[in-house]
Amino acid sequence: MIAGGALSSVVVAAALLASLTACDGSKPLLKPEPTASPGPFPAADRPIARIVSPRWSNEEARDRLNEAGRVMDLADIRPGMTVADLGAGEGYYTTRLAARVGADGRVLAEDIVPAVRDALAERVARERLENVSVRLGLPADPRLPENSFDRIFMVHMYHEIAQPYEFLWRMRPSLRRDGLVVVVDADRATRDHGTPPMLLRCEFAAVGYAPVDFREMRSAGGYLATFRAAGARPDPASIRACRMGARARSAG
């Protein structure tokens, strides 16, 4: 919930954010801040896309293509599940996941931009989505509780993670035994707001995730890929960064 004194500023922020275009690499939403050293984790050997908008496309156009419905079907989202929506933005998936999991399920919606988080919290309150919680994440750490989620959604946001190995490593314990990570992204270079599938598989594999499924999905802007945690979580110092060239191709 949003404090009463901050409501007017949130409404203004929401209006400004809604006027931005889709995630097309123009007009950055935020000025890029210096990237902190990833410590024991390797740095990504690829460009990192800037955060430019809290939306990928408008909701009416996405619903005409049944984007969310198709993605949720393929991800086997059922009533009673607990789902995290990372990089939730304006809440396109958050609101539809809330309806799908029902009163006995839970959705945790998270964003790293405070104004976006606040605008989403206002929407959740306005639409009375009692099974949704909204919180602020960190660029390299989603801060998710352990053994809590049946599914973790990462929709058109993976290419914006500045430290993917640390992020995936810290996220891993939050999956339940049969939990899945659901990634929706475009098949193009990360600098162009997408992630080549071979590179995605390589980076997930480096942190101990195994691929489960891959589907081309033009209605969702590219593809859907799912992963599960496999084996022991590696020591951060043992993780090796995937290269954009041969290393990424070999992971396919």
Instruction: Give the start-to-end residue ranges of the domains of the chain.
Output: 63-230
The pLDDT profile of the chain, 252 residues, written as one tens digit per residue, is: 444 444 444 333 444 333 333 344 333 333 334 444 556 999 999 988 876 544 445 888 888 999 999 999 999 999 999 999 999 999 999 999 999 999 999 999 999 999 999 999 999 999 999 999 999 999 999 999 999 999 999 999 999 999 999 999 999 999 999 999 999 999 999 989 899 999 999 999 999 999 999 999 987 779 999 999 999 999 999 999 998 743 444 334
Instruction: Give the single-character DSSP code of 246.
Output: H
Backbone angles phi, psi at 241, to 5 degrees: -70, 140
Cβ atoms 206, 219 nearer than 8 A? no
Classify domain 63-230 by CATH number. 3.40.50.150
Amino acid 221: pLDDT = 79
Amino acid 187: pLDDT = 94
Amino acid 50: pLDDT = 75
| CA separation for the pair 252, 247 (Å, rounded) | 10
| CA separation for the pair 61, 67 (Å, rounded) | 9
The pTM score is 0.81
